[in-house]
Amino acid sequence: MALLSVENVSVFFKRHLAGGDLQVVNSISFDVEAAEILGVVGESGCGKSVTAAAVMGILPQNAYYKGDILFEGQRLSTLSAEGLRALRGNRISMIFQEPMTSLNPVLTVGYQIAEVLMVHKGMSKAEAMARAAELLADVKIPSPTLRIKDYPHQMSGGMRQRVMIAMAIACNPALVLADEPTTALDVTIAAQVLSLLRGIQEKFNMSMVLITHDLGLVAENAQRIAIMYAGRLMESAETASLFKRPRHPYTVGLLNSIPKGRHIPLVPIPGFVPKPDNLPPGCKFSDRCSHVVKRCKEAEPPLIEIEKGHFNRCILNGGDGV
């Protein structure tokens, strides 16, 4: 049984308009196995962060989801607010993109880590602070016993993201959702933070959902990759299989958009990322696709398994020169 099963999840934002509520995620399904890293890749507005928020139960007030999210066999929609709170930060935790805005500026980092332990593990403050120092050492912050007394503003971006990681792993969670964990960091610091995260993930056998726009990042770290576009899953496969033979024109387009070296021509995807309230009919990528045929505009292709473990949502299915 998968650790996390997302089954036909759609996310909506409430609107008081004639068109009804705005759908930003359209019937997404994926599983995360134990000790696995799943990479979710997509551009801004594709619904990748909203999907994570739905799993975490932290959708904004004006949003709701339909479908099923099962964690360790438990249907999350059946849990009470109390039950969800017991899960969040304990069995499932999250690392956000912006370490400055996700830490409380008026509390010491030590206390913010200790709080997680006091709430979920019932530790006393002294015990929790001692454990917080150990956790800071785990995320390789030098002189942790001194640094627990620091406030977030006294730390650099890389340090703050390490603190976020320490908070996320404090209760030894089964699943960590990392939403663009290194996007706000410099390249060399990003590489450090990611190798740290990988080390911890392997050591504690955690599962991780790595949400990013960077294909290189998932190529290096994820076992499986899901490519999202316009709130849909376009292609998903084992990492090696996806990079060896990407089938969906969008995946191919993304790969061709990354500069690979001097004098190797760059082939961008034309057009721009559509807004969720203004999607084209049929295949949602059809207006930007260079392989588009008439059938693409008529009906949205289903996500089909074209090879074991390799799913694709395209009627051309990697043929016809895609």
Partner 1 sequence: MNLMEVRGLRKYFQMSSGFLSKPHQVRAVDGVDFTIEQNKVFSIVGESGSGKSTVARLLLRLIEPQEGDVLFKGTNVLGLKGEALKAYRRSVQIIFQDPFASLNPRMKIFNALCEPLKIHKTVPKSQFRQRVSEMLQRVGLTEDVMSRYPHEFSGGQRQRICIARALMLGPELVVADEPLSSLDVSIQAQILNLLIRIKGEIGLSFLFISHDLNVVQYFSDSIAVMYLGKIVESGQTEQLFENPLHPYTQMLIESVPKITGVSHHSHDTAADTPSPIEIPPGCPFHPRCAKRLAACSSSVPELIERNGRVVACHLY
Q: Which residues bind partner 1 (CB under 8 A)?
A: 43-44, 140-142, 156-159, 162, 186-192, 194-195, 213-217, 219-221, 239-240, 243, 253-262, 264, 266-270, 272-273
Could you give the C-alpha distances from 232 to 18, 95, 129, 176, in angstroms and in order?
Answer: 24, 23, 43, 22
d(CA 3, CA 265): 42
> Of the two residues 20 and 271, which places its CB atom closer to partner 1 in the complex?
271
> Of the two residues 56 and 166, which places its CB atom closer to partner 1 in the complex?
166
d(CA 246, CA 227): 11
> Of the two residues 50 and 87, which places its CB atom closer to partner 1 in the complex?
50
> Of the two residues 14 and 260, which places its CB atom closer to partner 1 in the complex?
260
| Least CB distance to partner 1 at residue 29 (A) | 25
DSSP-derived letter for residue 13 is: E
DSSP-derived letter for residue 301 is: P
Residues 6 or more apart whose CB falls under 8 angstroms from that of 93 comprise 167, 168, 169, 170, 171, 173, 175, 176, 177
| Least CB distance to partner 1 at residue 204 (A) | 18
Q: 268: which strand partners?
A: none
> Of the two residues 22 and 123, which places its CB atom closer to partner 1 in the complex?
22
> Of the two residues 73 and 105, which places its CB atom closer to partner 1 in the complex?
105
d(CA 292, CA 65): 31
| Least CB distance to partner 1 at residue 243 (A) | 6
| Least CB distance to partner 1 at residue 265 (A) | 8
> Of the two residues 3 and 211, which places its CB atom closer to partner 1 in the complex?
211
| Least CB distance to partner 1 at residue 75 (A) | 35
Residues 301/223, Cβ–Cβ less than 8 Å: no
| Least CB distance to partner 1 at residue 272 (A) | 5
Of 116, 201, 91, whose CA–CA distance to 167 is shortest? 116
d(CA 57, CA 37): 20
| Least CB distance to partner 1 at residue 257 (A) | 4
Residues 185/100, Cβ–Cβ less than 8 Å: no
